[in-house]
Structures are given as structure tokens and as C-alpha cells.
Chains A and B, each alone.
Chain A
Amino acid sequence: MIDFDVIAAFVDGERVNARALADALGSAEGREYLIDVVALREVALVPAEPGSGAVARPRGPARIARWIGVAAALLVALAAGYQTGLSRSPARATAAAAPAVRTDAAPPAPTVVIKLEPGAAWRDVEKGGRP
């Protein structure tokens, strides 16, 4: 009986028993099967849709157009970033958002007064020492 599996495994790059392979290829039927497996592989690699096997890289004018598109997108992004940064800069934001300040007005009266007294709010310690 012909061991077709050993022929297919050999074609598939798997390790096979050399004696079993020789026996299988000793018959005309085994040799026909080997050729059919190889031919079937080539047939199977024909794509069902044109260009479906891989994402083709654009060439010539298409490629140039793509690079121009990328460069334009980068320029737009840079310009937009610069404009955003400009509108959010502290000086501009203060000028735009803060109301006009009257310099001649009196400061508001304090609502809470915190008194810090030595010994109560803090204690002096030796350099590197612990309280």
C-alpha cells in the first residue's frame, strides 16, 4: 500500500523516513501523486481577486501623490499645532481672558488672619537633628 502521507509530508518540508519515502516513490502512482501535490500547490496560489495577495505599494505618480499628501498633512498639523499653542500661551491667555485690572483700587479686606509664632507654629532644631 502506498504511503501518500509521507510523500505529502516530504513536499511540505516535514522530516520523513527516507526508506518510507523511497518505497512510496517506487510506484508510478506515488510519483504521480507527488507531481499532483506540487501542481495543486501552484494552482492554489493563484489569487481569487486581482491584487488580493498583498497590499501593493503605489509606484510612480501614485507614490509621489501619496508623499505629497503626507507632506501636506504634516504641514497642516504643524500649522494647527502652532496656532493652538499661540492661542493657549499664558501671556495671550491672560490678556484675552483676564478682566481689566484697576491699579488704583484698594486691596480687599482679609477674611482670615493666620498668625505664626515661634514655639507654637514651629520649633528650632539642631542642624540634622530631629525635633
Chain B
Amino acid sequence: MSTAETLFIAHQPAVLRYLTRVVGQADTARDLTQEVFLRVSRSSIPAAGVGELRGWIFRIARNLALNHLRDAAARPATVALTDVAVQAAGQEIGVSVQQALDSLESLDRDIFVFRETAGLSYAEIASACELTVDAVRSRLHRARVQLRDVLSAEVAQQRAAGVRLTRGEP
């Protein structure tokens, strides 16, 4: 099995989760995920450790996501039918989280999503975002404080329902 296939099997679910959360649309996220691994397969894969490779893949994913969001911002705004369906299906929390994430600075948002939905370590996030680990730690704290304020009702609801310590998605 080629290295590109191995990377796909190992990292595709986390890349898809990250892109889904950042672009907010499952279909678009799937297309972008395919594009990520297409680029991986066409690139000369760097000889690096697992963490650095993971950071490299997520750097590609982040660049694609940023390009997509920039292009989407240039297009006229539309309301997808799924948005209505989502709200009708009682996914208010998910929509609130999406809106709260959108309110963050893009780098802080990506760092938070890398950590919480893709399960990247601080070193992997630093590699993906080309930052120092200290900068990642600082920005992650800032994002959390901002999100805790914006999502105070949802956080309080979760606290009332009980909390469980997980390490985020693997």
C-alpha cells in the first residue's frame, strides 16, 4: 500500500471533521477532503514523523478551506435548503456553535477546531498553522474564552446535563 493511501486511511476522518466544521456544509467538506488527498497523492510526501506529516496534511486542508471561504465570501449570499432543515430538525446548538466559530478570527477558529474536532496535539497544530507551540496555547485559550462567552447558554446547559472528559476526536 502506498504512503498516500496509508495517510488517507489514517487521517481522512479527522480532515473531514475539520473541514465540515469550518465550511459548515457536509457536501463541500467531502469535496474538499477529496481535494486534500488528491494533492497529497500528487506531492512528494515529506520524510517526517507522524506528527509533522499530520501537520502537513492539515496545512493543506487549512489552505483549501481558506480559499473556499474566501471564494464563498465573494459570491452573493444564499440560504441553503439544508439550513432551514437543520433548524427544523432541532440542531440549534450545532448552528449556534457554527455561528460562534465564524465570529472568531480565522486562525483562532482553526486552532480550536484542529484541537477539538480533529484531535491534533499542540505540536501538530503548530506545524499546520506554522506557529510556535506557545502561540498555539495562547490562541487556543483566547478562542475558548471567547467561545465560552458567546456560547454561555449552551455551556451552562451542558454543565447541567453533566460533563465527561474526553481528549477530543482522535
- By a beta-carbon cutoff of 8 Å, the part of chain A in contact with chain B is 4-5, 8-9, 11-14, 35-55
Which chain A residue has the least Cβ–Cβ distance from B99? Answer: A48
Q: Is B8 among interface residues, defined by CB-CB distance under 8 A?
A: no
Q: Is the CB of A43 within 8 A of B137?
A: no
Q: Is the CB of A42 within 8 A of B86?
A: no
Partner of A13, one of B26, B82, B121, B169: B121
Which chain A residue has the least Cβ–Cβ distance from B113? Answer: A44
Contacts of A14 in B (CB 8 A): 121-122
Partner of A48, one of B24, B144, B154: B24
Q: Is the CB of A40 within 8 A of B147?
A: yes
Q: Is the CB of B86 within 8 A of A40?
A: no
- By a beta-carbon cutoff of 8 Å, the part of chain B in contact with chain A is 13, 16-17, 20-21, 24-26, 29-30, 82, 86, 89, 91, 93-95, 97-98, 112-113, 115-117, 121-122, 137-138, 140-141, 144, 147-148, 151, 154-155, 158-159, 163-169
- Given A48-B24, A48-B86 in contact, is the A53-B155 Cβ separation under 8 Å? no
Given contacts A8-B140, A40-B158, A41-B116, 18 further A-B contacts (CB under 8 A): A5-B138, A12-B121, A12-B168, A36-B159, A38-B164, A40-B144, A42-B163, A44-B112, A45-B169, A46-B93, A48-B20, A48-B91, A49-B25, A49-B26, A50-B86, A52-B26, A53-B17, A55-B30
- A-B contacts counted at CB < 8 A amount to 104
Partner of A52, one of B20, B115, B155: B20
- Which 4 pairs show the lowest CB-CB distances between chains A and B? A52-B26, A39-B158, A48-B98, A48-B94
Partner of A5, one of B98, B141, B169: B141
Contacts of B154 in A (CB 8 A): 43
Contacts of A54 in B (CB 8 A): 13, 16-17
Q: Is the CB of A41 within 8 A of B166?
A: yes
Contacts of B29 in A (CB 8 A): 52
- Given A11-B165, A12-B168, A50-B86 in contact, is the A45-B117 Cβ separation under 8 Å? yes
